Amino acid sequence: MSYSVRPDALEKLTGQVLYGVDVERPGMWWGALVPSPAAAGRLVAIDASAVADEEAVVVTAADLPRLLPNGSGDPERPIFPSTAVRYRGEPVAAVAAPTLERARAAAARVRVRLDAEAPVEDLDRLFPDWPSPETMRDHPLVNGHVLARFGPVDRAFRTADELFQETYRTSGVHQVPLEPHACVADATGSVWHVTTSTQTPFGCREDTASLLGIPESSLVVEGSWVGGAFGSKGSALLEPYALVLSRASGRPVRLALSYAEEFQLGRTTLPSVLRLETALRNGRVVGRRARLLLDTGASLPGGDFTLGYAAGFLLGPYGAPALEIEGYAIRTHKPPFGPHRAPFIPQVAFAIESHLTHLAAHLGEDPIRLRRATVWTEGQTTTLGQRVGPFGLDRCLERAAEVVRAWRVDLPAGHGVGTGAGFWSTGAGAGGEARVVLTPTAVEVEQSEREIGSGSVLRGVAAVVERVLGLPPSHVVVRYQDTASGPFDSGVFGSRTVAALGQAAEKASRRLLTVLQERAGLRSTPRLAVADGRIVLEAPGTSAPVETLFTDSERRAGRLVVDGRHYGRAEGGIDPSRAVVGEFHPFTDFTAAAHVAEVEVDRELGAVRVVRYHAIHDVGTLIDRRTATAQVEGGVAMGLGEALTEEMLWRDDGRLENPGLLDYRLMTITDVPPIEVEFVEGFRGAGPFGAKGLGEIPIVPVPATIAAAIHDALGRPLFELPMTPERIARALAERTVDRPPVGRGAPA
């Protein structure tokens, strides 16, 4: 067993791996969802009498008490609405039939009768002027509110001699995993089973069980291979429907989304309006405020994590003598807001970083120098008063400045160079367990996460174990187990896999060495090595096949098993005197990146070509260079889409206008420029050996970086994502240069 870069490469390259969409069961039926035809309104009736297919099974809210052992499931989160619909496309019924064609035909014949109401879709229409605190206090659509303050904010803004105020708008963007959601469920026996494309098998089990009101112990979730997730395949989506369809039909049921459904049902990043204000006195920053209106779709009141988490990012990783942040989550008739690779933070970074770029231009300062003057360093405090840990952003910015200087030499006309920065935190909280299994010929890690693509499970966790044990690369195999047999782990999300699951594997590996050391009676910690295909224990003066240290029962089993656990502490750290209203979330560590882009802008067409890109990342400690590099390359490309082309367009009636790849445009192989990736080490993070998570941070600075480069090329600011040719052309047509009017910052 050995491989060049990825252990799963050959299987994937020859079409051998099975994703959620590929799973089949004997006797399986096919499911289809019946979508709500309106975004808002009262449900009058669901009429299945026109379904001609006699075998087809139709399930609605009324059938749940009959199908579920304990009532209708979670009353707070019904899987089917029984009174009002919350968004267009919300499943109001589900159908199973012997073939997909028959299931879809039957679903199309289910009549949904509604007293439709006018939906709320657009933040600008809802709040044509920036809402006052009085407006928001009892507003029925306010789902959440956060407010934090530090220093003499009121005085700073009262005594300012200049107010630099801008308003930014960002769009809904979709994760677009190439594999749509898909699962096969079997609820015909006493223990229900679902095989699904999920990035959190245990999270999916918890969520599905809770939605259906069944104990977790009566549900097994088996992860399939995952064809991309990016946050979209965390909690339950299709699994509860597939299970009730299986229950109703008495057969295993496959349920998968079409691409159009994937766009319409997906829980993802929704639009926002951000206002940033910097108070200046004699050209010096004396205070800064951020205001946020975030569309959280049909999220439950207080049920969205993003607002409280995003709050900590609103002013970026920069200090000021007085700071204030305030945000509101607004309920609209869209699907609930959902996790999406650093949820909403590329959009937040676009606003604050662009604000600083424009401020530097206004003050006649270098934009990188302006950032470095107030960027956090270890020991300082965050906006919310948490102590900053090891943080390499200043180093990244220093390198970015060098790249910018080099690229400015002989820069062609019409080109621009810009820099953006960002920070993130490794999701090393929650918990995970892993087993390290030593056999005479191999070291294996048994755990419960499926590889979702980044390589963090199959390569990242293996690299941690290899490093602890002293084995060369590609000698540790990571094996997957379902929720019935595998150890608990909270999921592949939040940049946590190497940092948190990796720590469980690290601890198990260290314990394994301790066990072997004790048994061999060694004074120092041994290492493992491979000799003639066998695993041997090596220490000064000793080299022995590991099985010579096995107990009798281990020898019979052919394996020595050691467990490791990592449960992150829920650290405090937020200064309660700063947190005025709402719930905020502390950072586990501080990951940083500074990016540089060169763009060419066609002034006539407004078209942007990204010429080259350089990404500098503080990773704490590098665990596997090629996997890390690949993460950054992929994150940058996804960020270029958020910067330039990706935008979900909802009509006033709640219909998504562009639920497909022709009109929701992803970056192609000819759009993405060469990407140079550089790592900064030495600023230790929360993971093994001081590693920091790298799943999400690569996307964070990208829209800001492209915006800065376009600003450099055109001398005009942009205030809205994505920066489409239309918006660029409009910015060029604006007479105001460099500075929007106070009030609505973006051109109308």
Partner 1 sequence: MTSGARVSLVVNGRRREVADVPFGERLLDTLRWRLSLKGTKEGCRAGNCGACTVLVDGRPMLSCLLLTHEANGASVTTIEGVEALSVGRAVVRAFEAEGGLQCGYCTPGFVMALVGHLASPGADRSPAAVRAALEGNLCRCTGYASIVRAAQRAAKEVA
Chain positions contacting partner 1, by CB under 8 A: 3-6, 8-10, 12-19, 21-22, 101-102, 176-179, 225-230, 258-259, 451-455, 626, 630, 633-638, 660-662, 666-670, 672, 674-675
- Nearer to partner 1 by Cβ, of 30 and 344: the residue is 30
- Nearer to partner 1 by Cβ, of 24 and 154: the residue is 24
- Nearer to partner 1 by Cβ, of 230 and 318: the residue is 230
Greatest alpha-carbon pair distance for the chain in Å reads 84
Q: Which of 275, 273, 309 is nearest to 289 (CA)?
A: 275
Half-sphere exposure of 682 (CA within 13 A, CB side): 6
Task: Give least dist CB 598 to partner 1, A.
Answer: 17
For β-strands 111-116 and 41-47, DSSP reports them as antiparallel
- Nearer to partner 1 by Cβ, of 238 and 508: the residue is 238
Task: Give least dist CB 105 to partner 1, A.
Answer: 9
Task: Give least dist CB 272 to partner 1, A.
Answer: 23
Task: Give least dist CB 671 to partner 1, A.
Answer: 9
Question: Do residues 264 and 335 make contact, with C-beta atoms less than 8 angstroms apart?
Answer: yes
- Nearer to partner 1 by Cβ, of 28 and 274: the residue is 28
Q: Which positions ≥6 away from 217 have C-beta within 8 Å?
A: none
Per DSSP, the three-state class of 360 is helix
Task: Give least dist CB 582 to partner 1, A.
Answer: 34
- Nearer to partner 1 by Cβ, of 50 and 178: the residue is 178
End-to-end Cα distance, the chain: 61
DSSP 456: I
- Measured distance CA(418)–CA(560) in Å, rounded: 54
- Tell me the β-bridge partners of 292: 274, 327
Task: Give least dist CB 672 to partner 1, A.
Answer: 5
Task: Give least dist CB 597 to partner 1, A.
Answer: 14
Q: Which of 403, 431, 428, 429 is nearest to 417 (CA)?
A: 403
Residue corresponding to tokens 């469920």 = 185
- Nearer to partner 1 by Cβ, of 182 and 290: the residue is 182
Q: Which positions ≥6 away from 643 have C-beta within 8 Å?
A: 350, 702, 703, 705, 706, 707, 721, 722, 723
- Nearer to partner 1 by Cβ, of 438 and 706: the residue is 706
Residue corresponding to tokens 């039909």 = 249
Task: Give least dist CB 655 to partner 1, A.
Answer: 18
- Nearer to partner 1 by Cβ, of 663 and 734: the residue is 663
- Nearer to partner 1 by Cβ, of 371 and 450: the residue is 450
Burial of 369: CB neighbours in 10 Å, binned 0-12, 13-18, 19+: exposed
Per DSSP, the three-state class of 105 is helix
- Measured distance CA(228)–CA(637) in Å, rounded: 14
Residue 409: its H or E element: none
DSSP 245: H
Half-sphere exposure of 695 (CA within 13 A, CB side): 32
- Measured distance CA(48)–CA(60) in Å, rounded: 10
Six-digit token string for 467: 């490093």
Task: Give least dist CB 688 to partner 1, A.
Answer: 22
Question: Do residues 504 and 496 make contact, with C-beta atoms less than 8 angstroms apart?
Answer: no
DSSP letters for 624-655? -HHHHHHHHHHHHHHHHHHHHT--B-B-TTS-
- Nearer to partner 1 by Cβ, of 5 and 118: the residue is 5
- Measured distance CA(400)–CA(419) in Å, rounded: 7
- Measured distance CA(501)–CA(507) in Å, rounded: 10
Task: Give least dist CB 629 to partner 1, A.
Answer: 8
Six-digit token string for 317: 């990783």
- Nearer to partner 1 by Cβ, of 102 and 334: the residue is 102
- Nearer to partner 1 by Cβ, of 79 and 107: the residue is 107
Residues comprising the chain, all counted: 748
Task: Give least dist CB 533 to partner 1, A.
Answer: 22
How far is C-alpha 224 from the chain's CA centre? 20
Question: Do residues 184 and 194 make contact, with C-beta atoms less than 8 angstroms apart?
Answer: yes
Question: Do residues 353 and 639 make contact, with C-beta atoms less than 8 angstroms apart?
Answer: no
- Measured distance CA(84)–CA(76) in Å, rounded: 13
- Nearer to partner 1 by Cβ, of 146 and 256: the residue is 256
- Measured distance CA(428)–CA(587) in Å, rounded: 9
Task: Give least dist CB 190 to partner 1, A.
Answer: 30
Task: Give least dist CB 40 to partner 1, A.
Answer: 29
Residue 103: its H or E element: helix 100-108
- Nearer to partner 1 by Cβ, of 324 and 451: the residue is 451
Task: Give least dist CB 399 to partner 1, A.
Answer: 20
Task: Give least dist CB 666 to partner 1, A.
Answer: 5
